[in-house]
């Protein structure tokens, strides 16, 4: 329903990190020391966020020792690097400066966004999403897919004679749903190819098409099993999605305001000036 933009992805990431860090501030014990340097539980939690995606669902207890060892090694090697003044190297200083900016950016955005996410903002976003996600109708249908119109007419005659639709689908349908009696489950208008969707939504529960419906897949005999109205989700059901949407909007608007008051000069990839000037907002 909602799409991330490249700019908004950082804002969403900042929001995702804010909740764990808030909890750590209240309960952040020392979990190891390395030559007197303390490693905190918050260091473990932050290191866990950097693990590959497949490890993020693993209980923290299962990777706790691995993360401790990784942080211990990092501190030991970093200490050796400082002994030879590697932290004074120009390339290293540039990298550290970039990391510092990223941490400042993330920390600032977390605080800025959190202060502005209110119940009123969430409710307003919910109203907006509810209007976009209008009440929709869905139908549940079965179908029997055949190669020719003549075959489809034969099936319709068998059904009119009392044959069971699901059983016929199992023996006659060439479609993959034939094994389950042609069951397609519930679908909204437009989710099927146009001719099929139009025919299904024009029928009442229990009705079977009187004439075959042709699509690029072949000839269909359709039976509508049920119809239902799908309401937009309740606010509490999409609270997290609402929170992310509001945070992206707040963060994006803030960045746009910063850009308006800044002089930004862009160049080509080779450093040469742009043809259309340079200063941009």
What pLDDT does residue 107 have?
Answer: 93
What pLDDT does residue 276 have?
Answer: 65
Mean pLDDT within 28-53 = 92
Percent of the chain with pLDDT over 90: 65
What pLDDT does residue 236 have?
Answer: 82
Mean pLDDT within 194-202 = 96
Does residue 129 surpass a pLDDT of 60?
A: yes
Alpha-carbon distance of 192 to 180, in angstroms, equals 18
Does residue 121 surpass a pLDDT of 60?
A: yes
Alpha-carbon distance of 206 to 10, in angstroms, equals 51
Does residue 225 surpass a pLDDT of 90?
A: yes
Location of each CATH 3.10.50.40 domain in the chain? 136-230
Does residue 130 surpass a pLDDT of 50?
A: yes
For residue 245, the Cα-to-chain-centroid distance in whole angstroms is 12
Alpha-carbon distance of 201 to 227, in angstroms, equals 9
* Of 251 and 274, the one with more pLDDT: 251
**Cα-flanking dihedrals φ and ψ of residue 233, to 5°?**
-65, 155
pTM: 0.54
Q: Which residues of 70-88 are buried (b: 16+ CB within 10 A; e: fewer)?
A: ebbeebeeeeeeeeeeeee
Q: Class of 136-230 per CATH? A: alpha beta
What pLDDT does residue 27 have?
Answer: 81
Does residue 1 surpass a pLDDT of 60?
A: no
* DSSP H or E stretch at residue 121: helix 119-132
For residue 211, the Cα-to-chain-centroid distance in whole angstroms is 42
Alpha-carbon distance of 244 to 1, in angstroms, equals 12
Does residue 279 surpass a pLDDT of 60?
A: no
- The average confidence (pLDDT) of the chain is 87
Question: pLDDT, tens digit, for every residue of 79-99?
Answer: 999 999 999 999 999 999 999
């Amino acid at each position: 329903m909602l799409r991330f933009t490249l700019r908004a992805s950082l804002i969403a990431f900042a929001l995702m990190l804010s909740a764990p860090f808030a909890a750590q501030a209240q309960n952040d014990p020392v979990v190891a020391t390395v030559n007197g340097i303390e490693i905190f539980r918050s260091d473990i939690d932050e290191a866990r966020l950097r693990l590959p995606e497949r490890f993020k669902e693993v209980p923290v207890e299962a990777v706790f020792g691995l993360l401790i060892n990784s942080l211990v090694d990092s501190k030991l090697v970093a200490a050796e690097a400082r002994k030879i003044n590697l932290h004074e190297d120009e390339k290293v200083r540039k990298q550290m400066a970039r990391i510092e900016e990223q941490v400042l950016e993330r920390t600032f955005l977390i605080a800025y966004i959190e202060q502005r996410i209110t119940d009123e903002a969430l409710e307003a976003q919910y109203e907006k999403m509810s209007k976009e996600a209008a009440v929709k109708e869905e139908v549940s249908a079965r179908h029997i897919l055949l190669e020719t119109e003549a075959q489809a007419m034969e099936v319709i005659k068998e059904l009119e004679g009392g044959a069971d639709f699901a059983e016929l689908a199992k023996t006659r349908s060439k479609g993959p749903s034939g094994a389950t009696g042609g069951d397609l489950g519930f679908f909204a208008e437009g989710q099927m190819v146009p001719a099929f969707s139009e025919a299904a939504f024009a029928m009442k529960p229990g009705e079977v098409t009187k004439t075959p419906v042709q699509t690029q897949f072949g000839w269909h005999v359709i039976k509508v099993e049920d119809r239902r109205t799908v309401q937009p989700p309740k606010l509490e059901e999409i609270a997290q999605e609402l929170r992310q949407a509001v945070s992206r909007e707040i963060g994006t608007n803030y960045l746009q305001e910063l850009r308006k008051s800044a002089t930004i000069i862009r160049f080509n990839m080779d450093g040469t000036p742009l043809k259309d000037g340079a200063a941009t907002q």
